[in-house]
Amino acid sequence: MLYEMNNPYIDYMGRIDTSDPKAPVFYYAGSQLEIRFRGTALSIKIKNHSNWGIVSLGYIIDGRMGRLPLKYENNYNEVTVQLCANLESDKEHELIIYKRISSNHSYSLSGIDIENGELLPVNRSYSLNMEVYGDSVCAGEVCEAAGFEGLCDPVGHESIYDNSWYSFVMQTSRNLNARIHNIAQGGIAVFDDTGYFHWPKMIGMESVYDKLCYFPEAGELTSWDFSRYTPDVVVFALGQNDKHNGITDADDLDITDPDYRRKWMDGYMGIIRSLSEKYGDKVKFVLTTTVLNHDKAWDDTIEAIKDELNAEGIKAYHNLFRRNGSATHGHPRIAEHNEMAEELTAFIKGIL
């Protein structure tokens, strides 16, 4: 039986474009849907647009992870693909479909077809609402490169090792039984024209944090309706890419320079102030970087930001991992994400 995507038994999570409720569009890494069903096989109707790299759709069926390669020759064409078959007909099955990677692609879904069965209500309740603003580590980029723990990334990986499911913030949300909106993008910095995202015209978090469609390859940029979701905890994880000026391809933005330090602090705090105005004074902001190598001066600056925000009445906390900024030359791998997730989970539990 074919089910439309506005069926109330489909549970969505993340910033998802539902302006056409029968064809929701997925932009952000980790955005997902969950269903329960009885049946022997399941297919989906998907229209994908890949921009670059080796792109796959992620899914979890009855606790087992799978990936569906998305072919460039199918770009913009609606196709029906089977995710699972030969299932036990008398058993209830759980399926999560999620976006493995960030702006490499966007896609819409227009139907779920279940053979010899039916859709069932999910009946899942959450204890907490989380939101994340972060970079490639929060998006889980290159995390599946086993054997490269502590090392630089493998050359020419083309996103094949990206998997948002293992990102430390996604793991933390599951540890806390929290819904999560993961606004994470590889290479992003606070300001436009800095960092690495969307070369040669860099896009910063200042132009992304309030967006639904946030990269032009996916279509017209659209604004997010903040009334749709109010988090209890916001994790703000920027600073890794901000030394890159984006113009001369040099890492020459010096956070120890008093003028730039003040400018960066004001830009960083400007986003948080805007979010605080939208969400109210009960939301808690967790400021952090990650275990990926970086200059401690960025963390010292974030500590100063935390103090200034608290002085304004905004509930801000600064998380430092045990191996903060010193564990790896390349992107954290799954083991390092596990480590960060355990520590961040404990930190958030401690402030709630």
Residues 97 and 232 in one domain: no
Residue 81's pLDDT is: 97
Residues 330 and 197 in one domain: yes
Residue 318's pLDDT is: 98
Residues 116 and 152 in one domain: no
Residues 177 and 68 in one domain: no
Residues 112 and 133 in one domain: no
Select from 77, 97, 120 the last residue of a domain.
Answer: 120
Helix or strand holding residue 58 (H, E) = strand 56-61
Residue 331: CB atoms within 10 Å: 27
Q: Measured between alpha carbons, how far apart are the two ends of the chain, in Å?
A: 44
Of 167, 172, 134, nearest to 349 (Cα)? Answer: 172
Residue 281's pLDDT is: 93
Residue 320: CB atoms within 10 Å: 16
Select from 89, 120, 151 the last residue of a domain.
Answer: 120
Give the list of residues 6+ apart from residue 239 with CB closer than 8 angstroms, or none: 289, 294, 298, 299, 301, 302
Tokens of 285: 């902001």
Residues 180 and 207 in one domain: yes
CA-CA-CA-CA torsion sign (240, 228, 172, 36): negative
Residues 166 and 280 in one domain: yes
User: How would you list the strands of the sheet with 315-318, edge to edge?
Assistant: 178-184, 128-134, 233-237, 284-287, 315-318
The pTM assigned to this predicted structure is 0.97
Give the list of residues 6+ apart from residue 188 with CB closer than 8 angstroms, or none: 134, 135, 195, 196, 197, 203, 204, 205, 208, 238, 241
Sequential DSSP letters for 218-256: GSS--B--GGG---SEEEEE--SSTT--SSSS-----TT
Select from 100, 120, 140 the last residue of a domain.
Answer: 120
- How far apart (Å, rounded) are the C-alpha atoms in residues 209 and 214? 9
pLDDT per residue of the chain (352 residues) written in tens, 0 to 9: 999 999 999 999 999 999 999 999 999 999 999 999 999 999 999 999 999 999 999 999 999 999 999 999 999 999 999 999 999 999 999 999 999 999 999 999 999 999 999 999 998 999 999 999 999 999 999 999 999 999 999 999 999 999 999 999 999 999 999 999 999 999 999 999 999 999 999 999 999 999 999 999 999 999 999 999 999 999 999 999 999 998 887 788 999 999 999 999 999 999 999 999 999 999 999 999 999 999 999 999 999 999 999 999 999 999 999 999 999 999 999 999 999 999 999 999 999 9
Residues 115 and 138 in one domain: no
Residue 277's pLDDT is: 98
Residues 46 and 188 in one domain: no
Q: Give the CATH number for residue 316.
A: 3.40.50.1110
How would you classify the pairing of strands 128-134 and 233-237?
parallel
Residues 17 and 102 in one domain: yes
Type of residue at 78: E
Residues 163 and 307 in one domain: yes
Residue 287's pLDDT is: 99
Contact 293, 327 (CB under 8 A): yes
Residues 97 and 138 in one domain: no
In the three-class reduction of DSSP (H, G, I as helix; E, B as strand; rest coil), residue 324 is classed as: coil
Residue 249's pLDDT is: 76
Query: What residues make up the domain containing 24?
Result: 2-120
Q: Give the CATH number for residue 55.
A: 2.60.120.260
Residue 67: beta bridge partners? 58
Type of residue at 235: V
Residue 250's pLDDT is: 79
Residue 214's pLDDT is: 98
Domains contained in the chain, number? 2
